[in-house]
Amino acid sequence: MRCLAADFTASLADIADEAGIGRTTLRRYFSERNDLLAAISATALARSSAAIQRARLTEGPALDAVGRFCEEHFEIGDILILVLDQPQLSRAWSDESTKHALLELIARGKAEGTIEPEIPPEWAYEMIWTHLYAGMHYKPQDGTSRYGALSLCLTSLKRVLETRN
Protein backbone atom coordinates (compact mmCIF):
# COMPACT_ATOMS: atom_id res chain seq x y z
CA MET A 1 0.00 0.00 0.00
CA ARG A 2 2.68 2.44 1.05
CA CYS A 3 4.61 1.84 -2.13
CA LEU A 4 1.63 2.21 -4.45
CA ALA A 5 0.41 5.23 -2.56
CA ALA A 6 3.74 6.96 -3.12
CA ASP A 7 3.88 6.04 -6.80
CA PHE A 8 1.10 4.12 -8.42
CA THR A 9 3.36 3.19 -11.33
CA ALA A 10 5.74 1.35 -9.00
CA SER A 11 6.90 -1.97 -10.41
CA LEU A 12 5.99 -5.26 -8.79
CA ALA A 13 9.64 -5.63 -7.83
CA ASP A 14 9.52 -2.33 -5.98
CA ILE A 15 6.35 -3.40 -4.23
CA ALA A 16 7.83 -6.72 -3.18
CA ASP A 17 10.98 -5.00 -1.92
CA GLU A 18 8.99 -2.50 0.08
CA ALA A 19 6.97 -5.34 1.55
CA GLY A 20 10.14 -7.22 2.41
CA ILE A 21 9.24 -10.28 0.39
CA GLY A 22 10.51 -11.78 -2.85
CA ARG A 23 8.99 -10.97 -6.19
CA THR A 24 8.30 -14.68 -6.58
CA THR A 25 6.27 -14.78 -3.40
CA LEU A 26 4.29 -11.74 -4.41
CA ARG A 27 3.51 -13.43 -7.68
CA ARG A 28 2.50 -16.62 -5.88
CA TYR A 29 -0.38 -14.74 -4.28
CA PHE A 30 -1.22 -12.36 -7.11
CA SER A 31 -0.33 -13.82 -10.44
CA GLU A 32 -0.96 -10.60 -12.33
CA ARG A 33 -0.72 -6.98 -11.46
CA ASN A 34 -4.43 -6.67 -11.98
CA ASP A 35 -5.03 -9.42 -9.45
CA LEU A 36 -3.16 -7.39 -6.88
CA LEU A 37 -5.06 -4.24 -7.72
CA ALA A 38 -8.37 -6.06 -7.71
CA ALA A 39 -7.55 -7.58 -4.34
CA ILE A 40 -6.71 -4.18 -2.92
CA SER A 41 -9.91 -2.74 -4.27
CA ALA A 42 -11.95 -5.65 -2.96
CA THR A 43 -10.33 -5.55 0.45
CA ALA A 44 -10.94 -1.85 0.81
CA LEU A 45 -14.55 -2.25 -0.22
CA ALA A 46 -15.07 -5.12 2.20
CA ARG A 47 -13.55 -3.16 5.07
CA SER A 48 -15.64 -0.15 4.23
CA SER A 49 -18.78 -2.27 4.18
CA ALA A 50 -17.87 -3.75 7.54
CA ALA A 51 -17.17 -0.27 8.89
CA ILE A 52 -20.59 0.86 7.74
CA GLN A 53 -22.21 -2.10 9.45
CA ARG A 54 -20.43 -1.29 12.68
CA ALA A 55 -21.38 2.37 12.40
CA ARG A 56 -25.11 1.49 12.55
CA LEU A 57 -26.06 4.46 10.44
CA THR A 58 -29.79 4.13 11.05
CA GLU A 59 -29.50 4.51 14.81
CA GLY A 60 -29.36 7.62 16.95
CA PRO A 61 -28.97 11.24 15.87
CA ALA A 62 -27.81 11.59 12.27
CA LEU A 63 -24.73 13.66 13.04
CA ASP A 64 -23.59 11.10 15.58
CA ALA A 65 -24.00 8.42 12.94
CA VAL A 66 -21.87 10.45 10.56
CA GLY A 67 -19.29 10.62 13.32
CA ARG A 68 -19.34 6.85 13.72
CA PHE A 69 -19.02 6.46 9.96
CA CYS A 70 -15.81 8.48 10.05
CA GLU A 71 -14.43 6.83 13.17
CA GLU A 72 -14.89 3.36 11.77
CA HIS A 73 -13.37 4.28 8.44
CA PHE A 74 -10.43 5.92 10.16
CA GLU A 75 -9.49 2.50 11.49
CA ILE A 76 -9.13 1.11 7.99
CA GLY A 77 -5.98 3.09 7.35
CA ASP A 78 -3.66 3.37 4.39
CA ILE A 79 -5.51 1.07 2.03
CA LEU A 80 -8.51 3.36 2.05
CA ILE A 81 -6.41 6.37 1.16
CA LEU A 82 -4.82 4.49 -1.70
CA VAL A 83 -8.14 3.47 -3.17
CA LEU A 84 -9.69 6.90 -2.78
CA ASP A 85 -6.64 8.37 -4.51
CA GLN A 86 -6.78 6.16 -7.57
CA PRO A 87 -9.71 6.53 -9.95
CA GLN A 88 -8.65 3.19 -11.37
CA LEU A 89 -9.29 1.50 -8.03
CA SER A 90 -12.35 3.39 -6.90
CA ARG A 91 -14.01 2.95 -10.29
CA ALA A 92 -14.61 -0.70 -9.50
CA TRP A 93 -15.93 0.71 -6.25
CA SER A 94 -19.17 1.82 -7.80
CA ASP A 95 -20.92 0.30 -4.84
CA GLU A 96 -23.98 2.42 -4.94
CA SER A 97 -25.27 0.80 -1.77
CA THR A 98 -22.74 2.77 0.26
CA LYS A 99 -23.85 5.96 -1.37
CA HIS A 100 -27.49 5.23 -0.78
CA ALA A 101 -26.88 4.48 2.88
CA LEU A 102 -25.24 7.87 3.32
CA LEU A 103 -27.84 9.72 1.30
CA GLU A 104 -30.54 8.18 3.45
CA LEU A 105 -28.65 9.23 6.53
CA ILE A 106 -28.42 12.76 5.22
CA ALA A 107 -32.13 12.81 4.46
CA ARG A 108 -32.81 11.57 7.97
CA GLY A 109 -30.67 14.34 9.41
CA LYS A 110 -32.63 16.90 7.48
CA ALA A 111 -35.90 15.43 8.72
CA GLU A 112 -34.53 15.55 12.27
CA GLY A 113 -33.60 19.15 11.73
CA THR A 114 -29.96 18.52 12.67
CA ILE A 115 -28.60 18.76 9.13
CA GLU A 116 -28.84 21.98 7.16
CA PRO A 117 -31.82 21.71 4.81
CA GLU A 118 -30.18 23.97 2.23
CA ILE A 119 -27.25 21.65 1.55
CA PRO A 120 -27.70 19.45 -1.54
CA PRO A 121 -27.53 15.77 -0.55
CA GLU A 122 -24.94 15.01 -3.21
CA TRP A 123 -22.71 17.75 -1.88
CA ALA A 124 -23.16 16.61 1.71
CA TYR A 125 -22.16 13.15 0.55
CA GLU A 126 -19.01 14.55 -1.04
CA MET A 127 -18.23 16.54 2.08
CA ILE A 128 -18.31 13.43 4.24
CA TRP A 129 -15.81 11.56 2.10
CA THR A 130 -13.74 14.67 1.59
CA HIS A 131 -13.35 15.37 5.28
CA LEU A 132 -12.67 11.75 6.02
CA TYR A 133 -9.96 11.76 3.40
CA ALA A 134 -8.46 14.99 4.69
CA GLY A 135 -8.39 13.67 8.23
CA MET A 136 -6.76 10.40 7.28
CA HIS A 137 -4.24 12.24 5.17
CA TYR A 138 -3.38 14.78 7.82
CA LYS A 139 0.10 14.32 9.18
CA PRO A 140 1.49 17.63 10.41
CA GLN A 141 5.04 17.92 11.65
CA ASP A 142 4.32 18.15 15.33
CA GLY A 143 3.01 14.97 16.80
CA THR A 144 -0.71 15.28 16.30
CA SER A 145 -2.07 11.89 17.18
CA ARG A 146 -4.34 9.90 14.93
CA TYR A 147 -7.10 10.75 17.32
CA GLY A 148 -6.33 14.43 16.96
CA ALA A 149 -6.80 14.23 13.23
CA LEU A 150 -10.09 12.40 13.64
CA SER A 151 -11.26 15.01 16.07
CA LEU A 152 -10.42 17.84 13.69
CA CYS A 153 -12.12 16.02 10.87
CA LEU A 154 -15.31 15.56 12.85
CA THR A 155 -15.35 19.11 14.13
CA SER A 156 -15.05 20.57 10.65
CA LEU A 157 -17.51 18.13 9.12
CA LYS A 158 -20.14 18.93 11.72
CA ARG A 159 -19.72 22.62 11.03
CA VAL A 160 -20.39 21.96 7.36
CA LEU A 161 -23.44 19.79 7.90
CA GLU A 162 -25.18 21.17 10.95
CA THR A 163 -28.21 23.39 10.80
CA ARG A 164 -27.52 27.07 11.10
CA ASN A 165 -28.75 28.48 14.35
Partner DNA sequence: CCAGATCGGAGCATTTATGTTCCATTTCGG
Partner DNA sequence: CCGAAATGGAACATAAATGCTCCGATCTGG
Q: Which does 71 bind (CB under 5 to 8 A by kind): DNA, a copy of itself, none?
A: none
Beta-strand runs (E) in the chain? none
Among 31, 58, 151, 155, which residue interacts with DNA (rule: CB under 7 A)? 31
Per CB under 7 A, does 28 bind DNA? yes
Among 43, 90, 114, 130, which residue interacts with a copy of itself (rule: CB under 8 A)? 130
Q: Which does 163 bind (CB under 5 to 8 A by kind): DNA, a copy of itself, none?
A: none
Give the DSSP letter string of 138-154. ---SS---HHHHHHHHH
Closer residue to a copy of itself (CB): 5 or 49: 5
Rounded CA-CA distance 11/30 in Å is 14
Exposed / middle / buried, residue 31 (Cβ in 10 Å: 0-12, 13-18, 19+): exposed
Eight-state DSSP code of residue 32: S
**Residue type at 104?**
E
Closer residue to a copy of itself (CB): 49 or 130: 130
Per CB under 7 A, does 11 bind DNA? yes
**What contacts 66, CB < 8 A, 6 or more positions away?**
105, 109, 128, 157, 158, 161
Q: Which does 120 bind (CB under 5 to 8 A by kind): a copy of itself, DNA, none?
A: a copy of itself
Interface residue list for a copy of itself (CB under 8 A): 5-9, 85-88, 119-120, 122-123, 126-127, 130-131, 133-134, 137-138, 140-141, 144, 152, 156, 159-160
